[in-house]
């Protein structure tokens, strides 16, 4: 009896700590979230609760994903998937598969990411978990855009948007509106992209989603750059940079540093552009974000080319060539090749 009561108390402790951890996660405080999840993993193993161990491994994977420690995230999600399969827990399997897809996507391993997302979509459909299904499909659509297929992405995202509105998923709706804007940007339909970004921004401000708001403002600023309004873009970028630094959003910070560099290059302020590009590269390297680093190296190389510093440009392109071999992005690979051949 005493042993049973002790087990119940420890399960309650696990549940309480997980609820506390989830509050940190929603605030973007991933290190604090990781600390509590790690304590919960020790507890789940101490009481030999395999199901809770699996849930906690998934939580730890999400924490590592938030901290941009992608290899550690992969290892945690693989363990979480193994636990879910061992217990025949299809819901936990679908979640782990989706999270594996997200991690491989961030690593630029898009074929592997699509494989995991498609497996998770099938499971979510069997479970009639529409929220999970829509979320995984949204990630698939974003990959299509990154692979240079924005029209295919738009077809899928149009369906997803309707589903999210039926579900009353406002946060998800804003995410999909952002994705649609991103696809239109890739199609160089910048006015249409702005309309979708502004719609997403309204939802994020209403729901007080600071991380989402910073992402959307960054996208709006990028569209201003594309429309030939770099000064207006810079005003927004500096605001976004401060927000992302306050939130501890290191990945978002790297993106914005790169974008500020690009805006300065449009204003022909090469000194400022190089300064921000170098800051972005340093952070991308710390995060092991090869795609971000390659993109920044290419833009820095292009700036050196336009200012007739071809040797420095070539060094940037060669560095990009070494890195792009580590990711699966045909569009970026072709771009690196074109830049080298143009010199």
Domains 1-104 and 129-207 share a fold: yes
Instruction: Report pLDDT for 68.
Output: 85
How high is the pLDDT of residue 6? 78
CATH of domain 1-104: 1.25.40.10
The pTM assigned to this predicted structure is 0.86
Report the interhelical angle of 130-146 vs 90-106 (nearest 10°).
20
Contact 149, 187 (CB under 8 A): no
Q: What is the pLDDT of residue 138?
A: 95
pLDDT at position 71 is 92
pLDDT of residue 27: 78
Q: Pick one of 1.25.40.10, 3.40.50.1000, 2.40.170.20, 3.40.50.300 as the CATH number of 129-207.
A: 1.25.40.10
Distance CA 312, CA 278 (A): 13
Domain boundaries, the chain: 1-104, 129-207
Could you read off the pLDDT tens digit of each residue along the chain, which spans 343 residues? 555 667 888 899 999 999 999 998 887 788 899 999 999 999 999 999 999 999 999 999 999 998 888 999 999 999 999 999 999 999 999 999 999 999 999 888 899 999 999 999 999 999 999 999 999 999 999 999 988 899 999 999 999 999 999 999 999 999 999 999 999 999 999 999 999 999 999 999 999 999 899 999 999 999 999 999 999 999 999 999 999 999 888 899 999 999 999 999 999 999 999 999 999 999 999 988 999 999 999 999 999 999 999 999 999 999 999 998 888 777 788 899 999 998 8
Q: Are 239 and 268 in contact (CB under 8 A)?
A: no
């Amino acid at each position: 009896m005493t042993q049973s009561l002790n087990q119940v108390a420890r399960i309650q402790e696990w549940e309480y700590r997980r609820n506390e951890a989830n509050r940190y996660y929603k605030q973007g405080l991933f290190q604090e979230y990781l600390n509590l999840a790690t304590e919960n993993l020790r507890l789940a193993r101490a009481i030999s609760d395999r199901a809770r161990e699996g849930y906690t491994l998934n939580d730890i994977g999400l924490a590592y994903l938030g901290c941009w420690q992608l290899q550690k995230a992969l290892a945690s999600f693989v363990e979480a998937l193994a636990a879910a399969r061992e217990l025949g827990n299809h819901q936990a399997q679908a979640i782990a598969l989706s999270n594996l897809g997200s991690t491989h996507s961030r690593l630029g391993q898009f074929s592997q990411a699509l494989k995991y997302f498609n497996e998770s979509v099938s499971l979510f459909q069997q479970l009639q978990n529409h929220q999970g299904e829509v979320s995984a499909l949204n990630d698939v659509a974003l990959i299509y855009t990154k692979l240079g297929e924005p029209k295919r992405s738009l077809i899928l995202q149009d369906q997803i948007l309707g589903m999210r509105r039926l579900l009353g998923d406002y946060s998800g709706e804003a995410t999909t509106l952002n994705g649609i804007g991103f696809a239109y940007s890739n199609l160089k339909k910048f006015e249409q992209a702005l309309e979708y970004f502004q719609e997403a921004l309204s939802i994020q401000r209403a729901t007080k989603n600071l991380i989402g708001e910073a992402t959307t403002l960054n996208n709006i600023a990028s569209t201003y750059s594309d429309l030939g309004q770099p000064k207006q873009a810079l005003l927004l970028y500096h605001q976004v940079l401060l927000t992302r630094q306050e939130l501890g959003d290191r990945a978002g910070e790297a993106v914005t540093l790169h974008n500020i560099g690009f805006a300065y290059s449009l204003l022909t302020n090469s000194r400022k552009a190089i300064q921000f590009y170098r800051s972005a590269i340093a952070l991308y390297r710390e995060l092991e974000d090869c795609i971000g680093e390659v993109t920044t190296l290419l833009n820095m190389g292009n700036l050196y080319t336009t200012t007739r510093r071809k040797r420095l440009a070539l060094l940037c392109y060669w560095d990009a060539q070494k890195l792009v071999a580590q990711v699966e992005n045909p569009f970026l690979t072709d771009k690196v090749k074109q830049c080298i051949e143009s010199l």
